[in-house]
Amino acid sequence: MLGDSSKAQEVFHTTLREAANRAAHGELPREPFWLFRDARWRCLEADKADLQPEPLALDEHDVAPQAAAQIEQLEPAQLAVWISGASDPQRTALALFFLDEFDYNEILDLAELKLSELSRFLAQGRRQFQAWLDAKHPHQGTV
């Protein structure tokens, strides 16, 4: 979400500290994903002051059969930076989806999106990421 591990760590600890406080006062919400929702808002708050990505029309390519091989050449940090560079709510959608911890209904709930929106953000994200991959790590046969 943030593309910066120190910021992410700060958000994580703030979220847990706040949760511990609420637990001490018996004020923990009954909703099961409140901690993730809280963390998400803290992430969005944390980089509010930073430079925001300009809404650019990124190139889009169809997801290619060799995409997996291209992705394997990446460093994890490169992926983190790419996802954190997306504007919200697409960033939230991509981050939650590729964490592979939630089903789509839970993501819709957490990110406060409709199915059509989540679908569009994911499909567009894949195509943009594929275009970026093609630019950074062109596969044999990729122009």
Partner 1 sequence: MRMLRLLRRQRSLLNCAPINHDRLADRSMRAAVSRADDSDEFVNQQSFDRAVAALVLLIPIPPETAEWFSEKDLAVGSKWTWKKMARNPAVLAISIAVVVIAGVSVFQVLSRLNDFPGSATARKLLTVAASTRPVMLDPVSTEAGTLSDLFFMKHGLEHYDVPTEFADFRTIGCRVFEDEESRRIAQIWLAEKRMQLFLFPAERNAKTGAVLPFPGWRYVHQEGWAGAVTERSGVCFMAALRGNEKDLAPYISGAKQ
Binding site for partner 1 (CB under 8 A): 5, 9, 12-13, 16, 30, 32-33, 35-36, 62-65, 67-68, 71-72, 74, 76-77, 79-80, 97-100, 103-105, 107, 115-116, 118-120, 122-123, 126, 129-130
- Check the CA dihedral 140-81-112-19 and report its sign: positive
Report, in Å, the least distance between residue 26 CB and partner 1: 15
Instruction: Find, among 106, 104, 95, 93, the residue nearest to 2 by Cα.
Output: 95
- Angle subtended by helix axes 90-99 and 76-84, to nearest 10: 150
Report, in Å, the least distance between residue 16 CB and partner 1: 7
Report, in Å, the least distance between residue 50 CB and partner 1: 20
